[in-house]
Structure 1
Amino acid sequence: MTDFAQSARDATQAMRDVFPQTPLQRNAHLSDLYHAEVYLKREDLSPVRSYKLRGAFNAMRKRPDVGVFVCASAGNHAQGVAYMCRHFGKKGVIFMPVTTPQQKIQKTSMFGGDSIEIRLTGDYFDDTLASAQAFCAESGGHFLSPFDDEDVIEGQASVAVEMMEQLGKCPDHLVLPVGGGGLSAGMLSYLGTQCQYTFVEPAGGASLRAALDAGKPVSLDTVNTFADGAAVGQIGQKTFARLKDVGLANTLTIREDRLCTTILEMLNVEGIVLEPAGALSIDALQDLGQSIRGRTVVCVTTGGNFDFERLPEVKERAQKYLGLKKYFILRLPQRPGALKDFLGFLGPDDDIARFEYLKKSARNYGSVLIGIETKRASSFDDLFGKLDAGGFTYQDITDDDLLAQFVI
């Protein structure tokens, strides 16, 4: 790997003509919380608010004869490619799903300017990817993978090069988010066995764990795209070749709802804006617990492209995970005073956030959809105990994703 390490250092040096290194910051809040020296490698502070421009830069730098670069992405990779197309004066054609939020389209357009063309095609990413690859076959454009490309992997390794220079040593423990594997493959290839690793994936897109289980990259049956920066249906062939020996014991999967608590914590306590994938490494610290006590730990915060229109969803998911908000369907007797009886069961910290009632004259009971917020999770034990004692029939649907999609 000596040649790889030197190439990664060369790439890092070349990047300084385009953008400065991202900060490595000791975080006092997390350090005190986990009794460790916790540093954040702030890739969310790059010019495009993610590390993706590194791989795009290195791939374009090493392919000066390519006239047209093509990618398929609805997020950070698109923005990194757009930024670098403008820098190198290259034409870029960026394929995005029709369902891509307007904010992401506008940011990609802003970074690329006249150097890029955005094509919206396909309702799902697989359709978008197929269109991009078909365009390359017809036009001779160069398809730039977001992770499964040796030059991209080498470019992402620049995060490790900078971290070593800034810290002055290798950390005891490095926490890395994993999507397609470009960042983790690059950093692991550069650092080797100098430190302990934890590779973190969202529960709804754990493609590395699936590949480790199978011994090869496999396609996930379903992917939860909430943490879209790391929710990948299949890890790359080239990246897995570098990650195949990391071992399941060094991987973690994080529930998306729990991840929301960390997004809010970093926003409210530290004023740091992170996208879901960017918060994965920090969220993992609570699982590492005593194992990192007294050690130097670096968490790579991979991105900060957070659309604040998603904030209500993030807050709701965090409340549900913490047990502070629940939805349930109540069978309410159609008699005078029944609603008053129910309201009398609520405690001083219980707040009705949702109430929908349809009275049907031909029935003795009506169905009520109720959302309750509270300050203590134990308040729901008190409420449900009172409902049981009062003879009310109810169904908690908070964790029923299918039903919640239709009624919440």
Structure 2
Amino acid sequence: MTDFADKARAAAEAMRALFPATPLLRNAFLSERYGADIWLKREDLSPVRSYKIRGAFNAMTKRLAEDPERTLFVCASAGNHAQGVAFVCRHFGVRGSIFMPVTTPRQKIDKTRAFGGDAIDIHLVGDYFDDTLAAAQDYCKASGGAFLSPFDDPDVMEGQASVAVEMMEQLGYAPDRLILPVGGGGLSSGILSYLKAEGVGTRVKLVEPLGGASLAAALKAGHPVTLPTVDNFVDGAAVARIGAAPFEVLASTDPGDVLAAPENRICVTISEMLNVEGIVLEPAGALAIDALQDLGAALRGQTVVCVTSGGNFDFERLPEVKERAMRFQGLKKYFILRLPQRPGALKDFLGLLGPGDDIARFEYLKKSARNFGSVLIGIEAREAGDFDALFTRMEQRGFAYRDITDDEVLAQFLI
């Protein structure tokens, strides 16, 4: 394992030709909240605004050392890995063929092209990532290129471990706790391998999105398994199956050290870090900070490092983030109201609203001329408790309703 630490340090040193070490910054806001000394390892401030550039650089360096005549690298990604590969291809002056789903937002495609310039080709293939990956691997075999996995590759894991190398040098000592996001497992397995090789006793918590808890599922089964469904909101970490190579390292993890962050709660963290601290984080980049609240009082008096893994946030998603955050906080609810079809019925209902209740959505769902009609209503409140009072008033006045805020099926079709 000492060999791994040496390789991780060598990778970190080699990266200085590409970019300076990302900052390790103490965050006074979070430190005061939790009564701890909380530091953020700002991978969102790398040249491609994520740590993915590290694994791509190290893996490409190794491939070129093995075969200096190699000129083509291939990857499949809809986000950060694509941008990292594009940047490194341009640095080394080699060709990159990057496969992305047809559904990839234009912003991500444009950023990938900006980082790679003339060094890369972008292929839009498939509606889903599995289709994109299959196309990339087929192309790689046919063209004789080198495939660069986003996480399931020992060289990528080694490159991601450079995050820990920098952290230890910058802090000057081992933190009491380290909180890491988990997607495919490349970052977490690389860092854990480095800490073990160095004999560091830091307690590590791993955090994955609730709707993509592939590590927890693998630990329960004893081997990597494919999740039947995945919530893709945390797109940088919502992986259906943990990588095989990373799981060899992560298999000994105590399941109690793996936390699951609800997607809507992550939205609260994103909004808070943006509004209070001016820090722009993508959903995956907010995972480690979001998990602090799960640890709470256990953090008091400790030195804690959170890895903010990425800041590639598309601001077109901001309305969705605000919406989901308010729903998690209980400040916004949707319900279907059974409204009598008589003059004054709507006025009667509006008279029940409190001074802080704001109608954000109002849509008649009536399909026939019956005595009652259905109305879809979205209301924002100043305090979560305001809804209890509103619903009590509605029930007292005989208004029938159904709260569908947390009904995933109805919400998907109606909201």
C-alpha root-mean-square deviation of aligned residues, in Å?
0.8
Which of 119, 135, 154 is matched with 1:150 structurally?
A: 154
Q: What residue identity is the alignment partner of 1:41? A: K
Q: How far apart are residue 213 of structure 1 and its match?
A: 0.3
**In structure 2, the residue corresponding to 1:305 is in which secondary structure?**
coil
- What is the match of residue 5 of structure 1? 5
Q: Which residue of 2 aligns with 1:337?
A: 344
Partners of 1:205 and 1:230 within 8 A in 2: yes
Q: How big is each residue's C-alpha offset from its partner over 1:268-311, in whole Å with a ceiling of 9 and x where there is no partner?
A: 00000000000000000000011111000000000000000000
- 8 Å contact kept, 1:179–1:232: yes
Instruction: Describe the superposition over 1:137-196 as per-residue Cα deviations: whole angstroms up to 9, x where unpaired.
Output: 111111100001111000000000000000001110000000000000110000125200
> Which residue does 2:185 correspond to in 1?
181
Q: Please say if residues 199 and 252 of structure 1, whose CA atoms lie closer than 8 Å, have aligned partners that are also in contact.
A: yes
Quote the sequence identity (%). 71
**Distance in 2 between the 1:294 and 1:362 partners?**
65
- Quote the residue 1:80 is aligned against: 84
Aligned AA for 1:309? E
Tell me the distance in 2 between the aligned counterparts of 1:5 and 1:322: 43
Amino acid paired to 1:383: L
Q: Does 1:28 align with 2:28?
A: yes
Letter in structure 1 aligned against 2:5: A
Aligned residue type for 2:4: F
Secondary structure of 1:352's partner? strand
C-alpha distance in 2, partners of 1:91/1:141?
A: 9
Assess, with a 3 A threshold, how the Cα gap between structure 1 residues 359 and 245 changes in structure 2: closer, same or farther.
closer
2:326 pairs with 1:319: yes
- Pairwise mapping of residues 56-95 of structure 1 onto structure 2 (< 5 A)? 56-64=56-64, 65=67, 66-95=70-99
1:161 aligns with 2:157: no
Aligned counterparts of 2:76 and 2:16: Cα–Cα separation in 1: 27
Residue aligned with 1:201, SS: strand
Is 1:124 matched up with 2:128? yes
TM-score where L is the length of structure 2: 0.97
Equivalent residues of 2:271, 2:322 under 8 A apart: yes
Select 1:280's aligned residue among 273, 284, 287: 287
The correspondence of residues 9-408 of structure 1 with structure 2, limited to 5 A, is 9-64=9-64, 65=67, 66-192=70-196, 193-358=200-365, 362-408=369-415
Tell me how far 1:228 sits from its aligned partner.
0.6
Segment drifting more, 348-357 vs 397-406: 397-406
Q: For 1:189 and 1:359, locate their aligned partners in 2 and report how far apart those are by CA, in whole Å.
A: 60
The amino acid across from 1:218 in the alignment is: V
CA distance in structure 1 between the partners assigned to 2:146 and 2:230 by the alignment: 27
- Deviation track 1:180-233 (CA, whole Å, cap 9, x = no partner) reads 000001100001252001000000111110110011111001111100101001
Measure the CA separation in 1 of the matches of 2:209 and 2:203.
20
Report the CA distance between 1:362 and its aligned residue.
2.5
- Partner amino acid, structure 2, of 1:63: R
- In 1, Cα distance between the equivalents of 2:47 and 2:62? 21
| Contact 1:334 1:359 survives alignment (8 Å) | no
- Offset at residue 358 of structure 1 (A): 5.0
Gaps (5+ residues) in structure 2?
Answer: none
Q: Distance in 1 between matches of 2:300 and 2:367?
A: 60
